[in-house]
Amino acid sequence: MYIDIILFAILAAVLATNLYKVLGKKTISEDIASTKKNMDIEEDKNIFSNEVMDYSQKQIINLDKDFSFSVFLDGAKSAFNLIVNAYKNKKIQNVKEFLSPEVYDNFNKSISKINDKEKTVNTFQIVSLNASIIDIEVIEKLVKIKVEFSSLQKNILENDNNSKEVKDIWVFERNMNSQSLMWKLIEVSSK
């Protein structure tokens, strides 16, 4: 009777050890997926400033396995172009859904001040645009990404071609639990 119990215990230990050897290892497909994700992060390194920590990048990847920093930055550039053009054409209400209420109000106030002081811009164009992620903040499921934009903006007035380099810092925010993939612009500052 005791011998049966001891034999079953030994058999159970051997089975548990063999199961651990098989189940405790990564499969080839898991290893390839992990390597691919690490390569994606390595490729995206050039879009980050030196201050952005690997830890912050990995926090976002942990919240959304399909998140791509280069796709985010392309979207941020598109949003920048869209919002700045709406602002310059005094049609900020067309991009209200992309802005936090505070940013929307500040843009409206700024447009009102410009209407009183500035000449009318016949044409506006962003000639070149570069962007990099300078900070990432993750608080539970809420992610804030700070992006620095460097753009060459050209105002074409009636008798004056005027272009200038502008550096802006914008902060985009998104709750990663949200069904919406839209990032909101919550803060704008200039350098």
The whole-angstrom distance between residue 74's C-alpha and the CA centroid of its chain comes to 9
CA angle 169/151/173 to nearest 5° reads 30
Please give the mean pLDDT across all residues of the chain: 81
Percent of the chain with pLDDT over 70: 75
| Residue linked to tokens 């034999």 | 7
Q: How far is residue 18's CA from residue 124's CA, in Å, rounded to a whole number?
A: 69
Pick the more confident residue, 135 or 4: 135
Phi and psi at residue 29, in whole multiples of 5°? -65, -35
Instruction: Using alpha carbons, select from 50, 60, 43 the residue that is nearest to residue 132.
Output: 50
Q: Which of 19-33, 41-55, 97-111, 118-132 has the lowest mean pLDDT?
A: 19-33
Q: Which residue has the tokens 């700045």?
A: 84
The label of the residue with tokens 């074409």 reads 156
Within 8 A by CB and 6+ apart from 101, the residues are none
CATH code reported for the domain at 48-190: 3.10.450.240
DSSP-assigned letters across all residues of 140-185: TTEEEEEEEEEEEEEEE-SS-EEEEEEEEEEEEEEETTSS--PPEE
pLDDT band at 115 (very low <50, low <70, confident <90, very high): low
More confident residue, 100 or 11: 100
pLDDT in tens, 78-93: 999 999 999 988 899 9
Instruction: Say which residue, 121 or 90, is predicted with more confidence.
Output: 90
pLDDT in tens, 3-57: 878 877 787 787 777 666 656 555 544 554 554 454 444 444 467 776 677 788 8
Q: Tokens 């005791």 identify what position?
A: 2
Q: What is the mean pLDDT of residues 62-89?
A: 91
Residue, of 113 and 51, whose pLDDT is higher: 113
2 vs 29, higher pLDDT: 2
Q: What is the DSSP letter of 141?
A: T
The domain spans of the chain are 1-47, 48-190
């992006």: which residue's tokens?
147
